[in-house]
Amino acid sequence: MVGRGKARAYGNIALIKYWGKRDEELILPMNSSLSLTIDCFYTETEVIFDDRLDRDFLYINGEIEDPTTTKRVSKFLDLFRRAKGISTPALVKSINHVPTGAGLASSASAFAALAAAANIATGLNLNHRELSIYARKGSGSASRSIYGGFVEWQKGTGDQDSYAIPI
């Protein structure tokens, strides 16, 4: 086993929306945005990198997920694996306490929790700004779910300066 990490992240409601992406691959927004983090809706995620596994496994709310959903999470975890210089498969267990499709950014809390748990599991020790950049690559709004309270996602000019800050 390489490492284990567990994290919680909260959903958010956009008060000023980012109105689409100017770069689909990097998930760079057209505009800066503002949100309010909601502490009663959250996702808890555990990431275990284990060399005894033959591939990544994803469980959401106790149910094993389909290959398409797992592939999206695997691609996201590859960012952390590359940064750490490992290729170890992961077991991901996520419990979502955010109503899906209710405008409360369930994917934001999911990818922010996944990013924070992967950060702990790999021992990368990313700071909040770096974690916001990583989380954004899973779901744009996830960049804002790294923080609590009122948060601005700055559109920036490229990959390294498009991140969220608390305000």
Q: Where are the domains of the chain?
A: 3-166
CA separation (Å) from 128 to 40, 124, 133, 164?
21, 12, 9, 9
- For the stretch 40-96, pLDDT in tens is 999 999 999 999 999 999 999 999 999 999 999 999 999 999 999 999 999 999 999
Mean pLDDT of 9-34: 95
Dihedral over Cα of 62, 66, 20, 25: its sign: positive
- Right CATH for 3-166 from 3.10.129.10, 3.30.230.10, 3.30.70.1560, 3.40.30.10: 3.30.230.10
SS3 125: coil
What's the CA gap between 33 and 64, in Å, rounded? 34
Entry pTM = 0.95
What six digits make up the tokens of 20?
């689409």
Mean pLDDT of 93-112: 85
What's the CA gap between 62 and 70, in Å, rounded? 14
What six digits make up the tokens of 120?
């702990």
Predicted confidence (pLDDT) at residue 105 exceeds the cutoff of 70:
no
What six digits make up the tokens of 9?
């992240």
pLDDT at position 98 is 83
- Neighbour-count burial for 96-106, b at 16+ CB within 10 Å, e otherwise: bebeeeeebbb
**Single-letter residue type at 48:** I
